[in-house]
Structure 1
């Protein structure tokens, strides 16, 4: 495959440079003129603004969604294709054997099977179903009548119709991409069982750290190896395919009494892995009785984010724990049986075939226990003897998510929005909403399972006892939520929310630092909020995390650092306020030190694989400040040594390695260790994972301000410099309901996913510079062209 892709790159460059204009031009979107679209009832107007955003006007709803599918496909058909292949476990067929593990994982999740169950029980006369069918008809009409995208040619993809099952499968991929359980639960269980409960104190766990597997046979080394591999595959699955993964988000709503205009203001920036094209496709839809400016995912006709002059909403990830990993007890006399509910129950077994580019088909065996799919056995011969089942809310709920988002797209009142979001049961999402009448609201939408008292789902559970049982789901009234609070504002930033009932909602939440930073500023009653100061809030690059992590270590550093330059750098860090502008040297110094501290303290206990898994989880963020403050933590000890380790020795080792690495990487003069040189953003395309196609399809690099857990959350994995940014704001939106026509927006790259199109990367520079552009309602701005879609005669 590498050779064919390299030849394609050469061919494209030669064609573009040597006059073979017809090939490239034939792939470009058409944004002006007239086209026939079958099954339309009346003509549809599609006007394009200066960013390539379509503004669609139709005379009825079915025509509106059919036209949306048509124009969405011409800009994003490859994104639709590659995303459905990911969700269905079909990437290896076009990307080769390196994606076999990813496909195997997604087949084991049973997403496509659950999607078919969902489709089978869907009311085929519902408005949501009819809208979806019209949209898919538009997508398929474009695909059938136009040349294949360049990526199809490169990968040998044969077009095939898109279906409702594909749309629902992508919803399952979205639900999976939130799930931290595959990484966190094996990691924490390994630490508990191999190192001891004392090593868990830094992770701030408050439920039964001594474990819930006491009655089950201990997991074998082979089990831990397979779980480690599963954790890594779950983390790498999306990155290696160059596809977006949902990570976090900011959103807030401010009531009219706290704004300059006297009307509510809504802000939102969902945090998603960067990719080309970006995850959201913007479009304004207008038909009699319906009007919405929306942000659409691949193959979804209903906006995930949206607004009009009456109301709007944004999303953050709830991050509730809706997956349990469960170790099954195997019958020693029959390896196909496991103990559930006091009886031996037989695993169900199915076989599936993976098509692999350039290789023979691969047959995989999928197992399922009464608790759910077995997820470690799909690894094959490397799997340990203990079956690990997955209970997942996505597979266990009715989850009428299509009907929910259809209603959300029309919910202009508190009651309508509350009723609509109750239909979103997996993945867990926070909806932050406002309307022009003056209301603001927040609802954490998810079906929250009722687990047995005392069970901590942060660890792998014991399937042979009642610990893995679920007795149902809590009512929606128990979900965290707020409507028109006395404070006059609502902020959501992935921190752990509170239930009205006071119950704890288990989850893998982000630290409170980012939310606290936003809350402090929004709580200032002297500030009247408008679009301008809201931009400054969204683009903030400061966090308390660095200073509070460093605080307990500054005295240690002053003791162990002896050289003059080192002492100057320590004092420089002591005065640092945790900000991450491009010119900051302290930001670079702290981030390298943070990694070296984690490595020096924890790598010897965990080894390479588990240490890398730790760095990919959110629990590392809570662990490092607590570790820094605990002089007696067992993590300071050297594994295998009888002598007690010291924090001072580890800190000194981490500091010395920090300076050595930065000198080797960025130069000997600390003044050259600027954050913007070490922290960069490149938007990666699935084909850009392979050289030399990266030069054609990828966008960047750009020097990137911000970091993990600041409002401008341009995040890189904890590691050694340089730091490639992996995720951040997937759009930044600001809507003042005094005049929603002045709403602001930005796309991280561009509206189009078609290489060489003018809108492929036309917003990338403005995005990284923190600029905004107008989200036109009614297209009051410049018109690039008008595409007229007409019925067939």
Structure 2
């Protein structure tokens, strides 16, 4: 749910639209549009500072802060974040506290989101974390909050952000509440939720089984990770050797496909727990959880690329590190670039760091200091499980053959312009019952299990969520520990604190080391012999059987890591750290390694011809080779059409063959001008529709990401698989080539309508577009004149899902019978760090540093980002001053 949906459902009246139209039409002169713009120059008072803090901004408004103490540094960071991004911060804290309706009014979607988030208790957990943190961390968080509040003091909502003026036309906008240090901690929960591991796959297995009743068919949708074809992060020598051999044989095996795994995940022999309408409770749970907004994004496209190359392969003799997190596009963008510098580093002020921050949190999330650079990608380790609970009307639930009492608490949701709503939240020992949130979910699970028939009047099934982020932790300590790390030991110590979200950390040092470290709080799951479902976390678990309970967590000291591998290259792009069969503790649901392998192959090709530099790393980030096309097009080229195939149609063979000819010399690159890329994307969407839609629930249709590439690869080798058959044609059993042919025909017809009759005129960029959308005032739901003002211009993009330049789109998104190729996930920023000369590093953000639409920095990086370009990234004081455009001095 977007903020725009919230605003729409709150209902903008005609009077509001007319007022907004007036505001936008006179934006150049209307004072309250420009009123929120902050002063970036001169001198300002910041009570509580121990000394003066300099804020030096470059031509893109990116600030570098210089202070004498850490508390002054973070107080100034809070002030600067509030200057440029306060509405974004305020929206985020309302979201994470389950208080959206308090901000936007009685919108159904906002109330539902609040109910789900309150049920999970994000804010409650954040409050519990406070006492666990190091005293220094609490000091930094408090200083940051003081800086935010100093900026808020004596400023009305309309002088803080235009968004408050707009909202004030519909709901009551009161004085802004002070920022609390826990507001920063709560944002970690939103991060963790958007980057949580496999809860979608867990529910999808259950849903697919509920439709097919066939464990083997479900397994074909979740094939084993192809470790010999797509290397894991830390490959074995045997995997590297097999990978090289497969590459050498690629031409001869390109069109053969591979066999899909036909066994149930985890070696299950049965799934009796899912043979009844228990699956309905799980489906309703998914619907409830879907109501939670995803500020970072969700789904297949959410991931990242990161890699590090040792000095033995570089021009300078020292490492290069690259990172580009793939998240949801928005304006303002998710990241805020900044430098945090102690004028003299030491125990009292240890920070000299620059990179990408989150507005609302102190510190740097991804970046480098004077000694070490680091990149993050989502580890996607399985950190959550759904437990089916047998509940009873007397407030108990079944566990280990007896009854346990449900715990309950009541919370009140305040609604701006509406009546308060009381919410009763029930929990078991496995966690909060998320299936209680909506009326439909409460009614979903009334059917008994075949093995455990409850007495008449039983409460039926409920679904509880176990998730590591619902236990208080010390991830905020880890942020500051990484900011001051100098080597592998420091990173390992920081990773032990970095509990959620689970992330891959790649790093490089000015001493010449490169390394990888897996952090995270990872549950231990015991094997269950003769269980009703696998106990590996891949399926929902029976809550009444204690054998399925978590048995603690993996010891951080035992998590995988490496320093200076022989290859001199580490690539982490959401693929498994180690092949899942070798290391099952992280689960089995990862990206299938296509991006990672493409990066690895490109680096290998480059270093064979000589040492590489930062420019080559940026070229790799822009790579647009499509692995789905590499897998499927060789098979599609063998499809032949003759006129007799169209005897009952107005079409003819030439009409389709004209499009099919686009594949003859295609290099599989999805650049904006490629006609073949446009045709393949449409074929891919239609193939997934024709193959799977008839046998999967609507909420679980194929998204088209890497798992679906691997699943289709396996099905290509099984021309008679039941997945090819269309259940709607009762007297016909379709086979592979019939489905492939129909996909080619349907795609040709669809693109003729959308892009024109001549396939040579088609362009991928003509349909694959991005419009960065304001999270509250943008989107189709807002009045067009408002959205046009708040959103950035539409850009044509190359790339696609499971491509290194990961401008993703969803194959399950269709509009009026046509695939929708609109971009849904992007490289939210790009950076390349040169450890030989930190001032030679480069970076770019999706939009700009400011959240104020009237600012010149609202979207001043967007054009360069869309073109794959980057900017110089100054770090040393001399480089920062050379790039200086404005200087603000904050004084006590």
TM-score, length of structure 1 as denominator length? 0.93
The 8 Å contact of residues 211 and 696 in structure 2, kept in 1 or not, is answered as: no
For the residue of structure 2 that corresponds to 1:16, the secondary structure is: coil
Change (3 A) 1:460 1:439: same
**What's the offset of the Cα at 1:700?**
2.0
**Bigger CA drift: 167-176 or 462-471?**
462-471
User: 1:233 corresponds to which residue?
Assistant: 291
Kindly indicate whether residue 628 of structure 2 is the aligned counterpart of residue 548 of structure 1.
no
For the residue of structure 1 that corresponds to 2:303, the secondary structure is: strand
The 8 Å contact of residues 450 and 474 in structure 1, kept in 2 or not, is answered as: yes
**What's the offset of the Cα at 1:271?**
1.1
The 8 Å contact of residues 264 and 435 in structure 1, kept in 2 or not, is answered as: yes
User: 2:793 corresponds to which residue?
Assistant: 700
**What's the offset of the Cα at 1:188?**
1.1
User: 2:807 corresponds to which residue?
Assistant: 714
**Bigger CA drift: 46-55 or 23-32?**
23-32
**What's the offset of the Cα at 1:352?**
2.2
**What's the offset of the Cα at 1:557?**
5.1
**Bigger CA drift: 54-63 or 101-110?**
101-110
User: 1:169 corresponds to which residue?
Assistant: 186
- Out of 390, 394, 412, the position equivalent to 1:329 is 390
Kindly indicate whether residue 6 of structure 2 is the aligned counterpart of residue 12 of structure 1.
no
Kindly indicate whether residue 202 of structure 2 is the aligned counterpart of residue 197 of structure 1.
no
**Bigger CA drift: 519-528 or 418-427?**
519-528
Tell me, in whole angstroms, the C-alpha distance in 2 between the residues paired with 1:679 and 1:395.
38
**What's the offset of the Cα at 1:311?**
1.5
- Out of 144, 147, 150, the position equivalent to 1:141 is 150
Tell me, in whole angstroms, the C-alpha distance in 1 between the residues paired with 2:144 and 2:788.
34
Change (3 A) 1:636 1:390: same
Change (3 A) 1:358 1:662: farther
**What's the offset of the Cα at 1:69?**
0.6
**What's the offset of the Cα at 1:16?**
2.0
Residue by residue over 1:689-720, the C-alpha shift from the partner in whole angstroms, topping out at 9 and shown as x without a partner, is 31222111111210111111221111111144
**What's the offset of the Cα at 1:65?**
0.7
For the residue of structure 2 that corresponds to 1:66, the secondary structure is: helix
- Out of 256, 264, 279, the position equivalent to 2:334 is 279
**What's the offset of the Cα at 1:247?**
1.5
Tell me, in whole angstroms, the C-alpha distance in 2 between the residues paired with 1:705 and 1:346.
55
User: 1:776 corresponds to which residue?
Assistant: 874
The 8 Å contact of residues 278 and 730 in structure 1, kept in 2 or not, is answered as: yes
The 8 Å contact of residues 177 and 246 in structure 1, kept in 2 or not, is answered as: no
Tell me, in whole angstroms, the C-alpha distance in 1 between the residues paired with 2:613 and 2:312.
12
**What's the offset of the Cα at 1:444?**
1.4
User: 2:312 corresponds to which residue?
Assistant: 257
For the residue of structure 1 that corresponds to 2:882, the secondary structure is: coil
For the residue of structure 2 that corresponds to 1:699, the secondary structure is: coil
User: 1:369 corresponds to which residue?
Assistant: 428
User: 1:320 corresponds to which residue?
Assistant: 381
The aligned runs of 1:417-496 (5 Å cut-off) are: 417-453=491-527, 455-496=535-576
Tell me, in whole angstroms, the C-alpha distance in 2 between the residues paired with 1:616 and 1:5.
40
Tell me, in whole angstroms, the C-alpha distance in 2 between the residues paired with 1:8 and 1:746.
36
- Out of 645, 665, 678, the position equivalent to 2:754 is 665
Tell me, in whole angstroms, the C-alpha distance in 2 between the residues paired with 1:373 and 1:231.
12
Any stretches of 5+ residues in structure 2 without a counterpart? 1-10, 225-263, 346-350, 446-460, 528-533, 647-651
User: 2:488 corresponds to which residue?
Assistant: 414
Kindly indicate whether residue 109 of structure 2 is the aligned counterpart of residue 98 of structure 1.
yes
Tell me, in whole angstroms, the C-alpha distance in 2 between the residues paired with 1:221 and 1:498.
32
The aligned runs of 1:674-685 (5 Å cut-off) are: 674-685=763-774
Residue by residue over 1:730-778, the C-alpha shift from the partner in whole angstroms, topping out at 9 and shown as x without a partner, is 1111111111011101111111111110100111111101111111112
Kindly indicate whether residue 617 of structure 2 is the aligned counterpart of residue 534 of structure 1.
yes
Aligned residues: 779
- Out of 816, 821, 825, the position equivalent to 1:723 is 821
Change (3 A) 1:511 1:220: closer
User: 1:602 corresponds to which residue?
Assistant: 692
User: 2:3 corresponds to which residue?
Assistant: none
For the residue of structure 1 that corresponds to 2:206, the secondary structure is: helix
**Bigger CA drift: 615-624 or 742-751?**
615-624
Tell me, in whole angstroms, the C-alpha distance in 2 between the residues paired with 1:246 and 1:571.
30
Tell me, in whole angstroms, the C-alpha distance in 2 between the residues paired with 1:182 and 1:418.
27
Tell me, in whole angstroms, the C-alpha distance in 2 between the residues paired with 1:375 and 1:211.
29
Tell me, in whole angstroms, the C-alpha distance in 2 between the residues paired with 1:552 and 1:415.
49
Residue by residue over 1:418-461, the C-alpha shift from the partner in whole angstroms, topping out at 9 and shown as x without a partner, is 11111101110011111111011111111221101251322111
User: 1:311 corresponds to which residue?
Assistant: 372
Change (3 A) 1:321 1:224: closer
Tell me, in whole angstroms, the C-alpha distance in 1 between the residues paired with 2:128 and 2:850.
33
The aligned runs of 1:389-408 (5 Å cut-off) are: 389-396=464-471, 398-408=472-482
Q: CA RMSD in A?
A: 2.5
Residue by residue over 1:355-395, the C-alpha shift from the partner in whole angstroms, topping out at 9 and shown as x without a partner, is 34454333322211111111111012443131011110112
Change (3 A) 1:615 1:323: same
Change (3 A) 1:622 1:108: farther
Tell me, in whole angstroms, the C-alpha distance in 1 between the residues paired with 2:76 and 2:301.
28
TM-score, length of structure 2 as denominator length? 0.83
Residue by residue over 1:117-161, the C-alpha shift from the partner in whole angstroms, topping out at 9 and shown as x without a partner, is 1124334xx211111110111011111233231112222443111
**What's the offset of the Cα at 1:785?**
1.1
User: 2:720 corresponds to which residue?
Assistant: 632
User: 2:122 corresponds to which residue?
Assistant: 111
User: 2:251 corresponds to which residue?
Assistant: none
User: 2:12 corresponds to which residue?
Assistant: 2
**Bigger CA drift: 83-92 or 717-726?**
717-726
Any stretches of 5+ residues in structure 1 without a counterpart? none
**What's the offset of the Cα at 1:568?**
3.4
Kindly indicate whether residue 414 of structure 2 is the aligned counterpart of residue 355 of structure 1.
yes
Residue by residue over 1:477-510, the C-alpha shift from the partner in whole angstroms, topping out at 9 and shown as x without a partner, is 3323211111111111111111899422215311
Kindly indicate whether residue 597 of structure 2 is the aligned counterpart of residue 512 of structure 1.
no
- Out of 144, 159, 167, the position equivalent to 1:155 is 167
The 8 Å contact of residues 83 and 298 in structure 1, kept in 2 or not, is answered as: no
- Out of 400, 403, 407, the position equivalent to 1:344 is 403
The 8 Å contact of residues 315 and 431 in structure 1, kept in 2 or not, is answered as: yes
User: 1:565 corresponds to which residue?
Assistant: 655
The aligned runs of 1:67-78 (5 Å cut-off) are: 67-78=76-87
User: 1:58 corresponds to which residue?
Assistant: 67
